[in-house]
Amino acid sequence: MSFKSFNPPVRTLMGPGPSDVHPRVLAAMARPTIGHLDPAFVGMMDEVKTMLQYAFQTRNSLTMPVSAPGSAGMETCFVNLVEPGDKVVVCVNGVFGGRMKENVERLGGIPIVVDNAWGEPVDPNKLEDTLKINQDAKIVAFVHAETSTGVRSDAKTLVEIAHRHECLTIVDAVTSLGGIPLKVDEWGIDAIYSGSQKCLSCTPGLSPVSFNERAIEKIKRRKTRVSSWFLDLTLVMGYWGGSNKRTYHHTAPVNALYGLHEALVMLQEEGLENAWTRHEHNYRALRTGIEGLGLQFIVREDSRLPQLNAIAVPVQVDESQIRQLLLSDYNLEIGAGLGALAGRIFRIGLMGQTSNLKNVLLFVSALEEVIARLRLPVDRGAAEPPALRA
């Protein structure tokens, strides 16, 4: 059997991730590979760390990208902070809160679940009541921007409640970093993780994390050894510690880190607050076009993520057929629902480089055409002009 080089189709990525990657990032990744202990590479690592501190809005010295995707960032936080027998309050309002719970279980911790309806933010009152009952809890974990539903929880308030009950916090910011306000130091977040492929618009495969001094102190006081060798921060920091002398830990994904560096340079050039504003403005255009088609969001306005929107699928519609037509006829990818929402929603991503007016207009006009082709009721011309005006 003979194989040829793989040439992927050119798509517009408007699903839950990855997002479109800018040509500057792809070009950076094509630069010559050097050793991961090369002085030039070590200098670039320091710049990545500084720019991640800016993106997270933190001065935490323990801020770095884990050499693996966002799920490994999640596991890095849990495997370092949770010991067998630790009681961890996990707020679940979607798929990824459920994954947090599973991490606690696998580590021998005791998960105390604060259940919230999918599509709704974590209820601070429920968290408060749970912590009053479980006064021996040590950690509170929640998702800031739940990718499975497009809902934003009030991270600042949830962290305040956790700290009032003397708990550390672990926060999932995979979909929020770079897309909406996220202020690690101001809000007092203890441990946080994200992903490179969402609002940072890098390729998948890296997970930025940050730990403050409270979290580091808990790691130092562990009575048991971290169960993962690769994710043990006491070992990894020998490589990412920031000194000129680096201790070999693993072979870093050199070219992937070139890409993350370039993506963070672009975020600096745009300005973090300008990036937040851009995501919000393009969401408003999308909202106007979606409502013009008579479709509805499943998340209420005040809790909606501008960068990831869940749209209810009308009862008579085969959502998989619409997604397939958008992909085959327009090279446009959107996401399906997960778990309890499978077959019931579309997930529309406006993350990072994907978040621009051109893509909004492409999507609403293509969706209108596909719906009409399937002979479903739609007011032709009701989507694109209002979106453009918005």
pLDDT at 372: 83
Nearest Cα neighbor of 364 from 343, 344, 378, 375 is 378
Res. 377: pLDDT tops 80 = no
| Gap between the terminal Cα atoms of the chain | 54
Please give the structure tokens belonging to residue 118.
């999918």
- 48 pLDDT band, cuts 50/70/90, is very high
Please give the structure tokens belonging to residue 20.
């479109």
- 381 pLDDT band, cuts 50/70/90, is low
State how far the alpha carbon of 254 is from the alpha carbons of 8, 32, 39, 181, 229, in Å. 23, 10, 13, 29, 21
What is the C-alpha separation between 104 and 110, in angstroms, rounded?
Answer: 7
* Local structure of residue 305 (DSSP, 8 states): B
- 387 pLDDT band, cuts 50/70/90, is low
Please give the structure tokens belonging to residue 47.
């710049």
Q: Which residues pair with 63 in a beta bridge?
A: 210
- In degrees rounded to 5, what are phi and psi of residue 180? -140, 165
The structural domains of the chain, ordered by start, are 23-268 (3.40.640.10), 272-389 (3.90.1150.10)
* Local structure of residue 346 (DSSP, 8 states): E
Nearest Cα neighbor of 299 from 66, 121, 113 is 121
- 236 pLDDT band, cuts 50/70/90, is confident
- 330 pLDDT band, cuts 50/70/90, is very high
pTM over 0.85: yes
Res. 124: pLDDT tops 60 = yes
pLDDT at 321: 94
Average pLDDT over residues 42-67: 96
Res. 243: pLDDT tops 60 = no
All residues at 6 or more sequence positions from 222 whose CB lies less than 8 Å from its CB, including other chains? 83
Nearest Cα neighbor of 273 from 187, 161, 360, 181 is 181
The model's pLDDT over 158-167, given as tens digits with 9 standing for 90+, comes to 999 999 999 9
| Exposed/middle/buried for residue 4 (C-beta within 10 Å: 0-12, 13-18, 19+) | exposed
Res. 102: pLDDT tops 70 = yes
Average pLDDT over residues 76-82: 98
- 67 pLDDT band, cuts 50/70/90, is very high
Quick one: angle between helices 124-133 and 155-164, nearest 10? Answer: 20
Chain-centre distance for alpha carbon 304: 15
Quick one: angle between helices 357-373 and 319-330, nearest 10? Answer: 120
State how far the alpha carbon of 311 is from the alpha carbons of 132, 149, 299, 350, 359, in Å. 36, 9, 9, 13, 17
pLDDT at 379: 62
Res. 382: pLDDT tops 70 = no
DSSP H or E segment with residue 202: none
Angle (CA) 359 363 365, round 5°: 120
Q: Which residues pair with 88 in a beta bridge?
A: 111, 139
pLDDT at 111: 98
- 244 pLDDT band, cuts 50/70/90, is low
Please give the structure tokens belonging to residue 194.
């994200």
